[in-house]
Structure 1
Amino acid sequence: MNLVPAGKAATYLALLRAIESNRPENKRLFYDPFAKLFLPSSLRLVEKLSRVPFLNSFIAWFIDRNWKGALTCCSARTRLVDVMIENTIHDEGVNQVIVFGAGYDSRALRLKLKKRIQFVEIDHPSFQAEKREILDKNRRRNGREAMVNYVPVDFETQELDDVITQVFQQGHYKTMFVWEGVTNNLTAPVAPRAFDYFKRFRPGTIIVFTYVDKEMLEKPEKFTGAVSVTKLLRHNDEFWNFGIDPASIKEFLASYNMELLHNLDTPTFRRMYFGDDAIDMKGYEFYRVAMARVR
């Protein structure tokens, strides 16, 4: 599972979020001022160039040519998960958001929420320490440091129940899990442990997670751009190991006492946020965002 050091995958995602954030204010889908802080020197130049509108468009074109759909999928999915968090907090009375395998996610700091929410970030100890050091160094916590609880977990060697305090399961918490960009890095024996942990939270607990179509892992050539994505991952010694069949996700979740609320593919959430421009956007059709509820 990706609760080991996140490596280059988290860095690439931070770059994509930074590029989207540098689009004109009336066009960008979200604004993440923290993403650029996590970039190594080799990628900082790309981020700085993307601040110039015509160069931003060129960089987006170049990324799409080499990794079809990666940027538009990342941008639309980030926006979708942002909206899911905001709406669920408002509609369901959520007062605790646990970001599982947080990576360089900065929603605890950047989302402008109307009520006080406890955020918990769970990630590998060394990666989490690096992230906190970068944030401290840049003094970009917006006065909300006390609202973020950091829990270091090495999932390969530790059990969640042994490390994560049961305080987060107390009855006064209405919890939402955000598990973005992590499930596809799971190994098959590990996946049940994570879902089994989620189901032990009180009924009504919400889980938002991303996953890849299982068929993409077996036959990447059937999906636009999937072969180049797997090559890039392999080049960086990172692999997508776990997928779910979209047709059987209801049954999969039911086995963990959960019900499926939403199951959106990339073309759908691209249309939601890019409108008619999404018609010509291809790639990453295998990537999905789902929302479930503990029964």
Structure 2
Amino acid sequence: MAVPREAGKDEQGPAMPNPAARTAVGPMTIVAAAQWGPQEHRIHEDKLAYGFLPAATRAIVSLTRWEPARRALFNATESRAKGLWAEMLCRKRYVDDKLRAAVTAGVDNVVILGAGLDTLAYRRPVPAGTAVFEVDQPDTISYKKKAVTRALGKMPATVTLVPIDFQKENLREVLTAHGYRSGGRTFFVWEAVTQYLTEDAVRSCFTFLSQASAGSELVFTYVRKDFLDGITLYGAEGAYLDFVMKNRLWQFGMNPDQVEGFLADYSWMVKEQLGGKEFTARYVAPSGSRLPVTDIEQSCYAVKS
């Protein structure tokens, strides 16, 4: 069973011609398929994931309610990068946990950068008066609007979809034009995006983040630079050949010991970083499963000083 990567044409949604935009489908395919697994071993709960997928992908995922088909999809994913399946589930669980804590503490805005087909804005209701902004490429935003409307009946009034070209447009200007106000505390999510950007584009986004109010929070992920450089492949030779060498989709990376200094330049303080070992201890082991978790991607939580 192949790992779905492209949205293709859905009966309710357009094609996604941009190569990076097409990768939005893969993670949510894994999330949706994982929901068919045993409840007691489930790492991440997401009942909306299936409904947000394109029709062709939903047809594939519907087969995974049977364990042999689910195992086939798992094996296809792991053949590209051992531990990728669990890492995707863990990083989404981590974002969920951090958002839940932030909402409890009180935030004024939630901004999801590179939202893809993620369901976070629709699964985790925020208090009245808290605005949620989903930011992504125009192709993805166009599809997302149709997918949400198909799955939920209409777009929630609290969520604003914001189309942007991260490489060319000014993030602050685009968000402001869609109603974002930076005066209050904001919870930012930037999941599985930085590797697709140039360093200049990443720094441009951090320049925007440097203007956030003190006490704002950020969860973001990055791919390890030693992996992108081909120094250590972490059992992910297939992903390296596909994303780095062949299609050259992944461009930017950091190593864990670089992150604190990088973020400090933009007045953000790193509070914790999680890779395979940490995710295993926090989420996988308590679930009773024995899934490996890859180290090629790391998750970081930071607070604005």
Contact 2:80 2:236 in 1 (8 A): no
1:127 deviation in Å?
1.6
Is the counterpart of residue 118 in structure 1 residue 128 in structure 2? no
RMSD value over aligned CA atoms?
2.5
In structure 2, C-alpha distance between the alignment counterparts of 1:250 and 1:139, rounded to whole Å: 40
Task: Determine helix, strand or coil for the equivalent of 1:87.
Answer: helix
1:94 deviation in Å?
1.5
1:31 deviation in Å?
2.7
Q: Deviations over 1:95-145 (max 9, x none)?
A: 3110001111111111255x333211111122201110122233355xx71
Task: Determine helix, strand or coil for the equivalent of 1:288.
Answer: strand
**How many percent of aligned residue pairs carry the same amino acid?**
26
Q: 1:135 aligns with which of 145, 148, 159?
A: 148
Is the counterpart of residue 147 in structure 1 residue 158 in structure 2? yes
Contact 1:250 1:259 in 2 (8 A): yes
Is the counterpart of residue 106 in structure 1 residue 119 in structure 2? yes
Q: What aligned pairs does 1:47-86 form with structure 2 within 5 A after superposition?
A: 47-86=61-100
Task: Determine helix, strand or coil for the equivalent of 2:180.
Answer: helix
In structure 2, C-alpha distance between the alignment counterparts of 1:5 and 1:146, rounded to whole Å: 30
Greater shift, 268-277 or 102-111, is seen at 268-277
Q: Which amino acid aligns with 1:219?
A: G
Residues 14, 149 of structure 1: alpha-carbon distance in 2 compared, 3 angstrom cutoff: same
Greater shift, 285-294 or 160-169, is seen at 160-169
Is the counterpart of residue 90 in structure 1 residue 104 in structure 2? yes
Is the counterpart of residue 232 in structure 1 residue 242 in structure 2? yes
In structure 2, C-alpha distance between the alignment counterparts of 1:5 and 1:286, rounded to whole Å: 20
> TM-score, normalising length from structure 2?
0.84
Task: Determine helix, strand or coil for the equivalent of 1:293.
Answer: strand
Is the counterpart of residue 180 in structure 1 residue 194 in structure 2? no
Is the counterpart of residue 202 in structure 1 residue 213 in structure 2? yes
Q: Which amino acid aligns with 1:188?
A: E
Residues 145, 69 of structure 1: alpha-carbon distance in 2 compared, 3 angstrom cutoff: same
Task: Tell me the number of residue pairs that the alignment of Structure 1 and Structure 2 aligns.
Answer: 286
In structure 2, C-alpha distance between the alignment counterparts of 1:290 and 1:225, rounded to whole Å: 22
In structure 2, C-alpha distance between the alignment counterparts of 1:202 and 1:289, rounded to whole Å: 22
Q: Which amino acid aligns with 1:153?
A: I
- Unpaired stretches in structure 2, ≥5 consecutive residues: 1-17
Q: Which amino acid aligns with 2:160?
A: N
Which residue pairs with 1:169 in the alignment?
181
Residues 48, 257 of structure 1: alpha-carbon distance in 2 compared, 3 angstrom cutoff: same
Is the counterpart of residue 275 in structure 1 residue 275 in structure 2? no
1:206 deviation in Å?
0.8
Contact 2:28 2:49 in 1 (8 A): yes
Contact 1:224 1:283 in 2 (8 A): no
- Unpaired stretches in structure 1, ≥5 consecutive residues: none
Contact 1:179 1:209 in 2 (8 A): yes
